[in-house]
Amino acid sequence: MRFYTKMHKFYCGIDLHARSMYLCILDQEGNTLVHRNMPTNGQRFLKNIAPYREDLVVAVECMFTWYWLADLCQREGIAFVLGHPLYMKAIHGGKAKNDKIDADKIARLLRSNMLPQAYVYPASMRATRDLLRRRNHLVNKRAELLAHIQNTNSQYNLPAFGKKIARKSNREGLGERFIDPCVQQSIELDMALIDVYNQRLAELELYIVRTAKGHDANTFYRLRSVPGIGKILALVILYEIQDIARFERVGNFLSYARLVKCAKESAGKRYGSSGAKIGNVHLRWAFGEAACLFLRNNPEGQKLHQRLVNKHRKAKALSVLAQKLGRAVYFMLKRQQAFDMNKFVTR
C-alpha cells in the first residue's frame, strides 16, 4: 500500500459521480474553505478551485468516472491523486455515509498523508487498454454462444459434434441436426452472431497490434519470446503493466498481478490469507493462461511442471508455474532481455 505524502497549502477531496460532484477544500490547518455540491463540469470545477490553485492537490476515489478529471488536472498543471477504493476504509467503514461526508474524508486523508494511492494510468495508452479489455469481453460473449450450441445439443441427446464448432467449416449444416424449427432458428442465430464476432474481433486484434507496436514494440516482441505468451496475452500484459518501472521490487509486481497470497496473522498465529481481490484481475488471467499454454509442445516446460507437481501436488503446480512466469517477465522487462528457457527451468 502506497500513501500520498507530499505537503501542499490546500487539499481538495472530491466525491465524484457521473452527473454530480461534491467538493471539499481544506487548508494546512484542516479548516474547511469550500464544501459544496455541483454538477460534474470541468469549467465549474476550475472556477471553484481558482482561489486555491497556487499549491493545490486534488484527490478522488478510483471509480469509473475519473478519466476526465485526471486529464483536466494534467492539462492545468494541478497535482492529482487517485485513491484506492479497497483500501479507503475510512470512507467505506463509517456509520453514516453520504457525498458530503465522503468528500470531507477524502480531503482529510489526503492532508494527513493517509490516502492510499491507486495508479493513474497515462492517457496516451489508456484508451487502447480499455479497447483490449472490451475485446476480452466480446470473446467471452462469443464463448457463451458456442457453449449454448453445445448445451442445446446435449438437451436433445444428440451425438457429439466430433469436431470443434469454433471453426466455421465445422458448423456447416449444424442447424439441420435439430428437428424443431424453433431450435433450428436459435442455432442459426447463434452461428450468425459467432460469424459477426469472428470478423469484428479479427479486425480489432489487428488494430490493437498495430497500436501496440507504436507504443512499445520492443516490449511486445520481448513478451512474445516467452513460450505460451502469444499475441493476445502479450498485449494484455503490456497494457496492464504499462511501465515495469512503477514496481520497485518483484514482490510488488507479483502482488499486483494476484500471483501471491498474503498471509493473515495475529499474535504469531496464521489465519489463512486475505486480499485475494486486491490487484489486477486481467494480469492474473493472462499469467494463468500463459502457464497452461507454456506446457504445449514444450518438453522442458513439461519436465519443470512435473517437478512442481511432485513437490506441490497437481492443484498447486500450475499456480506456482504462473508465479514463476510472472517473476521471469518482471526481470525480462527490467533488464530488457528476451526469455531464457535454460535459466527459467533451472531456477
Closest CA to 286 of 225, 219, 223, 236: 236
Q: Dump pLDDT digits (tens) for 53-80.
A: 989 999 999 988 999 999 999 999 999 9
Phi/psi of residue 19, nearest 5 degrees: -115, -10
Provide the pLDDT confidence category of residue 165 given band limits of 50, 70 and 90: very high
- Total-model pTM: 0.89
Q: Dump pLDDT digits (tens) for 261-292.
A: 887 788 878 877 777 778 899 999 999 999 99
Higher pLDDT, 213 or 148: 148
For residue 257, pLDDT over 90 is answered with yes
Is residue 26 a contact partner of residue 107, using CB atoms and an 8 Å limit? Answer: yes
Secondary structure (DSSP) of 66-110: -HHHHHHHHHHT-EEEEE-TTT-HHHHT-SS--HHHHHHHHHHHH
Hey, what's the cell of 67? 478519466
E-assigned strand segments in the chain:
10-16, 20-27, 32-39, 56-61, 79-83, 117-118, 262-266, 269-274
Grouping H, G, I as helix, E, B as strand and the rest as coil, residue 268 is coil
For residue 8, pLDDT over 80 is answered with yes
* pLDDT at res. 347: 75
Mean pLDDT of all residues in 298-322: 93
For residue 207, pLDDT over 80 is answered with yes
Domains, the chain, with CATH or none: 10-118 (3.30.420.40), 125-224 (no CATH), 231-264+274-346 (no CATH)
Phi-psi region of 228 (alpha: psi -120 to 50; beta: other; left: phi over 0): left
Please tell me the least confidently modeled range out of 10-19, 47-56, 225-234, 274-283.
Answer: 274-283
Is residue 211 a contact partner of residue 128, using CB atoms and an 8 Å limit? Answer: yes
Q: Give the type of residue at 294.
A: F
Neighbours of 175 (CB within 10 A): 18
Neighbours of 39 (CB within 10 A): 9
